[in-house]
Amino acid sequence: MEEQLMFAQNNRERIQAVENSFGPSGKALSQPGRVLIGEGRLMKLSRRGPQPKAFFLFNDVLVYGSIILNGRWNKKQQVIPLEYIQLEDLEDSTEMRNQWLLRTPRKSFYMAAVSYEEKRAWIEHIEECQSRLHSACSRPRPDFAVTWIPDQASAVCMRCSNSFSVAHRRHHCRKCGFVVCGACSKKRAVIEHIHPTKLLRVCNMCHSSLSTTKHRAEIKEESRGRGSSTDKICSDEDEVDWCSEEEEAEEQLEEHDPSRWMDSLMDSWSTYVYLKPEHVRPLT
């Protein structure tokens, strides 16, 4: 009993420290039944290239953000429920080692750890927490966002084949993830599993496909006498509102130089800290 009380106290202090590291702009993380499982730094691949991020694994959510002052101050906090995460282990490539793919309904991205052991620790601990959550409650699995094709992967628009330049800039279709030019991505559409109300950039081909699908769905709903459906994937609006700041920042970026994983920086990192919470219990 005393051991459990000591663990509960230490856990509260750890969670409060994570909260404080994001300052007043971060969301409150202290909740009944929430336990901090582990923390560390990983590389996250974005349009700007690989970026070091601080990651915090809880028994129900994954939290990450940009590092301002190592170990003390972070910003741009993102909170992703573990039940809306899908992991895919990946082999090493010439440019990316110890990598895996993390999918969410709103955004999917590549991550890399400093070592294979840390990579396996992150994946196994996330999957263990997910297993506990799924045994406690069951929700329908959502659709997942596609992974964006890196800018440097194509020198031409993947729809019209025109070359990119300072005036002919790169963009990404939110539906297929292709690198496309502005002329081929003037259309906007709602992709419900990414954002239930916001109009997102899509290429002309995906816009046509989405319009056809929507029209068929409306006809089907009308035939049932219910009108068009406005159901959301999740009833808690806060739970699906992650990655918005990152998405907007990446939308403003037009071009960047091809990037590589920063091995010299990763070699200087401290290792992943696993807090070994023996008293973790599924949320009820």
Residues 218-236 have a mean pLDDT of 46
Q: What is the pLDDT of residue 264?
A: 39
Residue 161 to residue 179: CA distance in whole angstroms: 10
User: What angle (nearest 5°) sits at the alpha carbon of residue 270, between those of residues 113 and 15?
Assistant: 90
Q: What is the mean pLDDT of the chain?
A: 77
Residue 62, SS3 per DSSP: strand
Cα–Cα nearest to 62, from 258, 268, 242, 269: 242
Label residue 140 by pLDDT band (50, 70, 90).
low
Domain residues of the chain, as ranges? 2-142+259-274, 151-232
pTM score? 0.65
Residue 57 to residue 7: CA distance in whole angstroms: 17
Residue 224 to residue 205: CA distance in whole angstroms: 29
Return the structure tokens found at 110.
């590549």
Long-range pairs for 29-36 at CB < 8 Å and ≥24 separation? Answer: 29/58, 29/63, 29/79, 33/59, 33/60, 33/281, 33/283, 33/284, 34/58, 34/59, 34/60, 34/61, 34/283, 35/11, 35/59, 35/277, 35/279, 35/280, 36/11, 36/275, 36/277
pLDDT, one tens digit per residue, over 262-279 is 343 444 445 678 775 554
pLDDT, one tens digit per residue, over 65-108 is 999 887 679 999 999 999 889 999 998 877 678 999 999 888 88
Q: What is the CATH number of domain 151-232?
A: 3.30.40.10
Pick the more confident residue, 192 or 121: 121
Strand partners, 111: 44, 100
Q: What is the pLDDT of residue 266?
A: 43
Token pair 């101050």 is found at 73
Q: What is the pLDDT of residue 234?
A: 34
Domain 2-142+259-274 adopts which CATH fold?
PH-domain like (2.30.29)
